[in-house]
């Protein structure tokens, strides 16, 4: 199980000099720092007022503790911009990395998340917060999914590679009436199992993840680094969602491990593939197992969104490509349900020559977006 622990770091591209000079005076009014426990009550209020009063960062102490409080230092995984004159928070960026869930990972592959500034914040403050994170965390790579239109205009100027994720899907051939899927008659029929490569997928339990990975998976050669311990802590120990692990292989390939979650809305289900590690070629052997799992879950469809993987491998597995402009409607958001197609934008920054791969569960895309069932006191507010 080779681990890629190279320590090359990335740097964001600077704005052109005339623009940078114009921004400096306004930016000098702020201190940018990591969120300490004493900052949390003010930041929570800022998020409530500037972002959403129903976001789990605002409503759920347990979610914040699990995902955003560093288990080693106690620091909150947010960078904040504080106005020097009065201490008011004017900007924030949440962040994650695989090392949050596995502190033994020796590098920072950074996943920036929620990113917002106050309406009267100085121009350029959001970009400056990101520069702080990349610099202070010595990020080896930076990647985000689900980018807003505004973010899509900013990140190319900072040197990011941009695009929209690829999406492949399977419809359940046993479903006669669809509640989630729109215009299902436009979809190609799933291939017969006999037409697919030999079955190379089997479900494994959380306790089997690390032994299987140690014996079968090469973790080198692709960013970000997602270790077996990361996969188990992130997915097997999630406070609310239930994830399933599946070992995969194909003739001539190394091993792979994919993670799925069954989402529900309006008494209907969909299987989402949220993460993968290992040899991309293993996807060719996953088709029969994915169809079997889709049927066992009595779900309407299964989908995989990602970047950095050859789409032809999903074709071999019997999955069909889907575009946001297709008449077939496959919801992406389930909390609340949105019956519409949507392009999901991504952006990443890596050292020259590095290969980057992202799936739905990377960054903070696969998280609850609803009120969560806990009434505990928030960290720092006891």
Domain spanning 166-342, CATH class: alpha beta
CA dist 188 and 171 (Å) reads 8
- 3-class SS string, 102-158: CCCCCCEEEEEEEEEECCCCCCCHHHHHHHHHHHHCCEEEEEEECCCHHHHHHHHHH
Q: Which two tokens stand for residue 211?
A: 């032994």
CA dist 110 and 9 (Å) reads 11
With a cut of 70, say whether residue 9 has pLDDT above it. yes
Identical fold for domains 17-163 and 166-342, yes or no, is yes
Helix %, strand %, coil % of the chain (to 5): 30, 25, 45
Q: Which two tokens stand for residue 268?
A: 């209907």
Task: For residue 165, give the 3-state DSSP assignment.
Answer: coil
pLDDT, tens only, 273-312 = 999 999 999 999 999 999 999 999 999 999 999 999 999 9
pLDDT, tens only, 315-327 = 999 999 999 999 9
Q: Which two tokens stand for residue 21?
A: 């000079």
User: What integer pLDDT is reported at residue 305 of this predicted model?
Assistant: 97
Q: How many CB atoms lie within 10 A of CB 137?
A: 20
Domain boundaries, the chain: 17-163, 166-342
CA dist 283 and 286 (Å) reads 5
CA dist 50 and 44 (Å) reads 10
Tell me the mean pLDDT in the region 195-205. Answer: 93
Spatial neighbors of 378 by CB under 8 A, at least 6 apart, are 40, 41, 44, 61, 64
Query: Residue 116 gets which letter from DSSP?
Result: E
Task: For residue 268, give the 3-state DSSP assignment.
Answer: strand
Q: Which two tokens stand for residue 329?
A: 């409607």
The CATH architecture to which 17-163 belongs is 3-Layer(aba) Sandwich (3.40)
pTM of the entire predicted model? 0.92
Q: Which two tokens stand for residue 279?
A: 């040899």
Strands 139-145 and 108-117: parallel
User: What integer pLDDT is reported at residue 371 of this predicted model?
Assistant: 64
Tell me the mean pLDDT in the region 194-205. Answer: 92
Task: For residue 218, give the 3-state DSSP assignment.
Answer: coil
């Amino acid at each position: 199980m080779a681990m890629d622990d190279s320590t090359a770091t990335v740097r964001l591209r600077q704005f052109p000099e005339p623009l940078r000079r114009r921004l400096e005076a306004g930016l000098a009014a702020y201190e940018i720092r990591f969120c300490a426990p004493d900052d949390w009550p003010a930041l929570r209020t800022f998020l409530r007022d500037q972002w959403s009063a129903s976001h789990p960062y605002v409503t759920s102490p347990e979610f914040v503790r699990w995902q955003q409080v560093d288990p080693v230092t106690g620091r909150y995984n947010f960078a904040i911009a504080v106005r020097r004159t009065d201490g008011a928070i004017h900007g924030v960026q949440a962040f994650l990395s695989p090392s949050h869930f596995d502190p033994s990972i020796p590098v920072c592959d950074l996943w920036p998340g929620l990113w917002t500034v106050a309406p009267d914040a100085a121009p350029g403050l959001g970009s400056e917060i990101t520069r702080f994170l990349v610099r202070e965390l010595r990020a080896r790579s930076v990647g985000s999914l689900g980018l807003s239109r505004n973010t899509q205009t900013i990140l190319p100027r900072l040197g990011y590679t941009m695009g929209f994720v690829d999406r492949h899907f399977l419809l359940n051939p046993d479903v006669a009436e669809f509640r989630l899927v729109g215009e299902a008659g436009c979809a190609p029929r799933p291939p017969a199992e006999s037409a697919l490569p030999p079955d190379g997928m089997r479900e494994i339990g959380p306790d089997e993840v690390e032994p299987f990975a140690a014996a079968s998976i090469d973790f080198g050669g692709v960013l970000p680094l997602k270790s077996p311990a990361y996969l188990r802590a992130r997915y097997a120990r999630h406070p609310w969602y239930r994830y399933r692990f599946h070992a995969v292989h194909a003739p001539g390939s190394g091993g792979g491990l994919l993670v799925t979650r069954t989402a529900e809305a309006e008494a209907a289900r969909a299987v989402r593939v949220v993460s993968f590690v290992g040899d991309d070629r293993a996807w060719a052997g996953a088709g029969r197992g994915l169809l079997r799992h889709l049927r066992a879950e009595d779900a309407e469809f299964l989908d995989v969104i990602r970047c950095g993987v050859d789409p032809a491998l999903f074709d071999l597995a019997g999955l069909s490509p889907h575009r946001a402009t297709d008449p077939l409607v496959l919801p992406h958001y389930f909390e609340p349900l949105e019956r519409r197609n949507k392009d999901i934008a991504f952006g990443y920054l890596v050292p020259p020559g590095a290969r980057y791969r992202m799936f739905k569960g990377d960054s903070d895309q696969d998280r609850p977006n609803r009120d969560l069932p806990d009434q505990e006191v928030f960290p720092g507010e006891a």
